[in-house]
Amino acid sequence: MAQNGSVVVATLVQHRVFAERMVAELLIDTELDPENATLELHQCLLPWERSGITEEAPEPWINFKTVKEMAADVGGVVVIAHDFAEHMAIQSTFNPLKDMGIPVAAGFGYTPHNTRPRTNAAMTGVTYPGMFEVAEKWIRSLRCEKPSYVEFGTLEGRTMSLAWQFLNEIPNFHFVAFDSFAGIAQPMEDEAWLFPEGSFYANRATFEHNMAVCGVDPARLQIVQGDICETAKPDSSEMVGVDLGQPTLINIDVDVYAPSRQALELLTPHLVQGSLIIFDDYDAFGADPTMGERLALTEWVEAHTDIEVEPYRNYGTYGRSFLVHTPNGRGHKDADGFKSWTQGDREAESEAEARVNA
């Protein structure tokens, strides 16, 4: 966050001591010292338009209009919510500040991981932190001189912070983040009801702030900004100087088909035997095989017959992961296993079309 200006804190958590502790955590090791910052603690009634209240906002209530008026003097904004759902319901309220390059850090339910979380995926099932715990163990079994983590759709940096905490001690490990920093891009018509254009918007300033909080070494992280459908092309100007290394862990979290498909194409020549690909929203849209990340993977495998993909672990609500078998390192005992699995998706699609046309 910028050195000048105060920190505006918008909190739905009615506990000042807790809010102040969270603010201090979200500002640690950044240019803005929480001890010297002016912490303007507000209760948060957001978004104002949905509140049904038409009169002037009484202090200490705050909405995006009052925040925008403060923008000239604001170094950053901290939003504290009870959980992720509450955070997502209000985060777009601060889009005007994101447009101005002001970092909007989120606390509690969507806090970046500034330490390695305690996990036990073998005992508790695979959560988001558990998926990265499993991935770390898997990656350490691979032989790579330039291992890397490549993330498409980094938002505010929560999963990038997980990747850093679990993987940064692996020798020569490198990190690459792709994001438009303008929200969801190029959803198909049937995808836009769940992931509309511009949703899930976080600006680059927020991402970089969170990376600083989490202790990420900027020399080991490359950021590629722009529409992934355009930037994730080998000949794009944004790719000049970008080192993808040997992507041992890939996180595709762009939610919709087009950027997912382009991400896979960019990675194809760089994959190694045992590369692990995780798709954050693979089972979104009711696991419909005609859209989203599911369609992107199916088409990619069909287009690259020399590559095989094996289902690995499921995690979270919609997430699935897959192991990659490259031409020079086939480890799949059932080489047709994934082919028949994707064929099942195609057959289900054909049967659905037949029922509609009957």
Q: What percent of the chain has pLDDT over 70?
A: 62
55 φ/ψ angles, rounded to the nearest 5 degrees: -70, 170
Q: Is 286 exposed, middle or buried (0-12, 13-18, 19+ CB in 10 A)?
A: exposed
> How high is the pLDDT of residue 104?
78
Is-contact 206 156, C-beta < 8 A?
yes
Segment 174-202 shows an average pLDDT of 93
For residues 245 and 124, which has the higher predicted lDDT (pLDDT)? Answer: 245
Interatomic CA distance for residues 340 and 326, integer angstroms: 18
> How high is the pLDDT of residue 71?
56
Report residue 61 CA to chain centroid gap. Answer: 30
pLDDT beyond 50 at 90:
yes
Interatomic CA distance for residues 319 and 241, integer angstroms: 31
> How high is the pLDDT of residue 259?
96
Q: Is 298 exposed, middle or buried (0-12, 13-18, 19+ CB in 10 A)?
A: buried
Q: Give the CB-side neighbour count of residue 49, counting CA atoms within 13 A.
A: 6
- Which residue from 295, 322, 319, 327 is spatially nearest to 309, judged by alpha carbons? 322
For residues 301 and 340, which has the higher predicted lDDT (pLDDT)? Answer: 301
Please, where in the chain does CATH 3.40.50.150 lie? Answer: 121-357
> How high is the pLDDT of residue 143?
86
Is-contact 108 158, C-beta < 8 A?
no
Q: Give the CB-side neighbour count of residue 210, counting CA atoms within 13 A.
A: 27
pLDDT beyond 90 at 159:
yes
pLDDT per residue as tens digits for the range 210-262:
898 889 999 999 999 999 999 999 999 999 999 999 999 999 999 999 999 99
**Fold of the domain spanning 121-357:** Rossmann fold (3.40.50)
**Rounded to 10 degrees, what is the CA torsion of 333, 335, 338, 343?**
-140
Interatomic CA distance for residues 358 and 240, integer angstroms: 52
For residues 323 and 62, which has the higher predicted lDDT (pLDDT)? Answer: 323
Architecture of domain 6-108: 3-Layer(aba) Sandwich (3.40)
Confidence bin at 7 (pLDDT 50/70/90): low
Alpha helices in 121-253 (DSSP H): 121-124, 128-139, 158-167, 204-213, 228-231
